[in-house]
Amino acid sequence: MALYGAGGSRWAMTERGRRWVQRDATQFQIGPSRMHWDGQALVVDIDEVTVPIPRRLRGRVRLMPQGLCSFNAALDAQGRHRWGPIAPCARIEVEFDKPGLSWKGHAYLDSNEGDEPIDAPFHDWDWSRARMADGSTAVIYDVRAKSGEDRVIAQRFAPEGTATPFEAADRQGLPRSLWGLRRGIRSEPAGPPATLTKTLEDTPFYVRSTLEATLLGERVTAIHESLDVPRVVSLPVRLMLPWRMPRRS
């Protein structure tokens, strides 16, 4: 769980062993946190302790899909890594008492899965999603493999869940992150150049940002992520990860 706001960010990502996990047809629980489907919404109850500064992170998120999506795409040539939105157009209600905050808005839910570690086929990627004026969601996955092959997946998802491919524009470079991470976005040249508005998460191997870009003829606000895979598996990062991702066996 990552929260960003005027009161500062809070982060919790604890890895827990099998004894902490319970699941059945309607719920999935890991330690003190769980998610379940109540018939209309995915309800996520969160009760965690943040790192590196230990603070309570406790609240509830309700995500109401406008429609469910069956789209699925391979991210690599062998099809061993796959991505697919579950609810690309959704509404969300957030209520937290630790810290005390709440809001409502639009949301997005997707899934990634793989049959091997991500450092086997990938070198790096950029990912972005943007809400369009008609309520649809446009997503671009811009993947670069170790083999030198580029794979670009560009799909527009209607509120009811249907997917329509579109032609992504050429890649435009963005300012490097504080850790020197390269990032880029496929923004159309017909509009103003893409501009970085805020960096939300800045780590040695991953950066999450918000930016303004031109997409399908519209000026949009996009959530953007960049990942550098060689850095993920580097020894310094592996030594640093337990400080951000503690383990409970």
Structure tokens at 85: 């939105």
Name the one residue in this structure whose structure tokens are 């509009």: 191
> In the predicted model, is pLDDT for residue 216 greater than 80?
yes
Instruction: Determine the pLDDT at residue 5.
Output: 80
Instruction: Determine the pLDDT at residue 75.
Output: 97
> In the predicted model, is pLDDT for residue 225 greater than 90?
yes
Q: Which of 207, 218, 219, 210 is nearest to 177 (CA)?
A: 207
**Residue 6 confidence class, pLDDT cut points 50, 70, 90:** confident
> pLDDT tens for residues 144-162?
999 998 999 999 999 999 9
> In the predicted model, is pLDDT for residue 106 greater than 90?
yes
pLDDT over 70 percentage in the chain: 100
| Beta bridge partners of residue 240, listed in sequence order | none
Structure tokens at 80: 């061993």
Phi, psi at 203, each rounded to 5°: -125, 170
Instruction: Determine the pLDDT at residue 161.
Output: 94
Phi, psi at 240, each rounded to 5°: -85, -30
pTM: 0.93
**What is the bridge-based pairing of β-strands 218-228 and 247-248?**
unpaired
What DSSP letter does each residue of 56-101 carry, written as one string?
A: EEEEEEEEEESS-----EESSTTS-EEEEEEEEEEEEEEEEEETEE
* Pairwise CA distance, residues 34 & 47, whole Å: 9
Instruction: Determine the pLDDT at residue 226.
Output: 98
3: CB partners within 8 A, 6+ apart: 9, 10, 11, 57, 96, 99, 101
**Residue 171 confidence class, pLDDT cut points 50, 70, 90:** very high
Structure tokens at 91: 């509404």
> pLDDT tens for residues 66-85?
999 999 999 999 999 999 99
C-alpha distances in angstroms, 94 versus 14, 67, 129?
Answer: 21, 20, 20
* Pairwise CA distance, residues 241 & 245, whole Å: 6
Instruction: Determine the pLDDT at residue 8.
Output: 76
* Pairwise CA distance, residues 194 & 126, whole Å: 14
| Beta bridge partners of residue 163, listed in sequence order | 157
Instruction: Determine the pLDDT at residue 191.
Output: 87
* Pairwise CA distance, residues 88 & 69, whole Å: 7
